[in-house]
Amino acid sequence: MRDYYFEHGENISNTVKRFGYPSKSCLKLWVKKDKRYKKPKRKMKVNKNNYSENDKIAIVKEFVNRTIPGKELAEKLGVTRETIYMWQKNLTGEKMDIDKSNNKDELLAEIEKLRKERNDLELENKILKKANELIKKEIGVNYGNLTNKEKTIVVNALKGTYSTTALLKKLKLKRSTFYYECTRNLVDKYDDIKEKIKIMFNENYKCYGYRRIKIALIDTFDINISEKVVRRLMKQIGLIVYQKRKRKYSSYEGEISPEVSNLLNRDFKVDKPYTKVLTDITEFSLKDGKVYLSPLIDCYDGLPIVYTCGTSPNSELTNTMLIKGHEIIKNNNCTIHNDRGFHYRLPSRIALMEKFGYTRSMSKKGCSPDNSMCEGFFGTIKNEFYYPYDWTEATCSDFIDKLNKYLKWFTEKRIKVRQWKNLKTVQ
């Protein structure tokens, strides 16, 4: 292998590729031990730039004046700093006088001064951030306008990281004033509003979030505060709307009648009522069985036109709902959309649709978003009425009575944020 190396150009990489072993570093050691190995001569860097005497004088003057760092000047000219030192010695006969301060005490004092300035700026930055975070006040770069109470809040939040003395000095707050504010019995100005929020939250099935609570405060108590404040107060007193985790669900049972096109194609926007109507069935599990709800939802306002409740998801449940709805709709141009459940593909259902002159529309197979507006209605009912409460002891008849009461409130009194205009409740 070493013979091949010396006979074929003395190339380490080619030799390793030829034999497949050893490593490059190992082969280098083998080669260096061979008598034929000659240490390569070091190539001296040749300066290709030829400078005249006047150029050298100008360069030395610039170097001495330190208009730019010496290393940067040398790299710019393509020479080393030692070369510039040699030019200066040849021109003046003396070594260059480079001011290098060896005063250790002065350097340490300067370092300590810079450290204090850095710590001071860091403390100031922390105070500004904490003030904006806790007090919710945009104070910019000036915290001199903070009240003593607000300064005390900031000091208490940061005294675990910085000394109390440094914080009081920076905020220009007297120590006696700080301890007075700490022991003072502070009164929360939102105590009365918190009680009113609790009342509105409990009276409305514990399903109002901060947006509808804000509207309810305006309508009921004529109190107008921002949504951010309402949200913060609800968080402080622990008012949280119950939300159940989502899960996949499919009610598809196969094709039992000819396919119907999806005419709505997820376009639920209309300009007048009873033009596009949605329907579906949902269930509620109880100890003595299940309760089924079949509503007819108007796309115009998202509210149920009519609905039927029962303990069996049969054709009577859906057909009765359709007959009751026709007494209100009375519109031959109405399009009724539903999923592909068997209730909507029975001959009796199809016959009623043809009799009333309604247009049929169905979702795609296993595609619940095609009827998302109706599914959203069911989700709202269950999140507000069903999931937050304990129904283990309720019977089906009791549940139906309470469901009827809730749906009446839902239709007549419940605030619908998207349609809430001019601070009026949707009736």
Residue holding tokens 């009799």? 355
Q: At what angle do helices 70-77 and 53-65 cross, to 10 degrees?
A: 160
Structure tokens at 338: 């539903």
The length of the chain in residues reads 427
pLDDT confidence of residue 76: 80
Residue 85 or 410, more confident = 410
Is the pTM here over 0.85, yes or no? no
- Reported in sequence order, the residue ranges of 15-57 that DSSP labels E, i.e. its strands, are none
Q: Among 14-28, 217-231, 330-344, which range has the highest average pLDDT?
A: 217-231
Residue holding tokens 């669900």? 249
Residue holding tokens 């001959």? 347
Structure tokens at 250: 């499919």
**Average predicted confidence (pLDDT) for the chain:** 83
pLDDT one-digit tens code per residue, 21-53? 778 788 777 777 777 777 665 554 445 567 787
d(CA 377, CA 97): 87
Residue 186 or 308, more confident = 308
Residue 4 or 228, more confident = 228
Whether 305 and 278 have beta carbons less than 8 Å apart is answered as: no
pLDDT confidence of residue 19: 75
C-beta contacts of 221-225 below 8 A and 24+ residues apart: 221/196, 223/193, 223/196, 225/193
Say if residue 115's pLDDT is above 70.
yes
> How would residue 248 be classed by pLDDT, with cut points 50, 70 and 90?
confident
Residue 104 or 79, more confident = 79
Across 57-71, 97-111, 259-273, least confident range: 97-111
d(CA 77, CA 62): 12
Residue 64 or 44, more confident = 64
Q: Sign of torsion, CA 74 77 82 86?
A: negative
Residue holding tokens 């006040």? 137
> How would residue 162 be classed by pLDDT, with cut points 50, 70 and 90?
confident
Phi, psi (degrees; rounded to nearest 5) at 22: -80, -150
Whether 330 and 352 have beta carbons less than 8 Å apart is answered as: no
Cis peptide before 22 (omega within 30 of 0): yes
Q: What is the DSSP string of 259-284?
A: ----SSTT----SSTTSEEEE--EEE
d(CA 405, CA 417): 21
pLDDT one-digit tens code per residue, 259-279? 888 999 999 999 888 999 999
- Which residues, at least 6 apart from 146, have a Cβ–Cβ distance to it below 8 Å? 131, 135, 137, 139, 154, 171
pLDDT confidence of residue 157: 85
Q: What is the DSSP string of 364-401?
A: PTT-GGGGHHHHHHHHHHIIIIITTS--TT--HHHHHH
pLDDT one-digit tens code per residue, 117-155? 888 888 888 888 887 777 766 655 566 778 888 888 888
Whether 399 and 391 have beta carbons less than 8 Å apart is answered as: yes
Nearest to 80 by CA among 70, 88, 90: 70
Across 100-109, 215-224, 240-249, least confident range: 100-109
> How would residue 418 be classed by pLDDT, with cut points 50, 70 and 90?
low
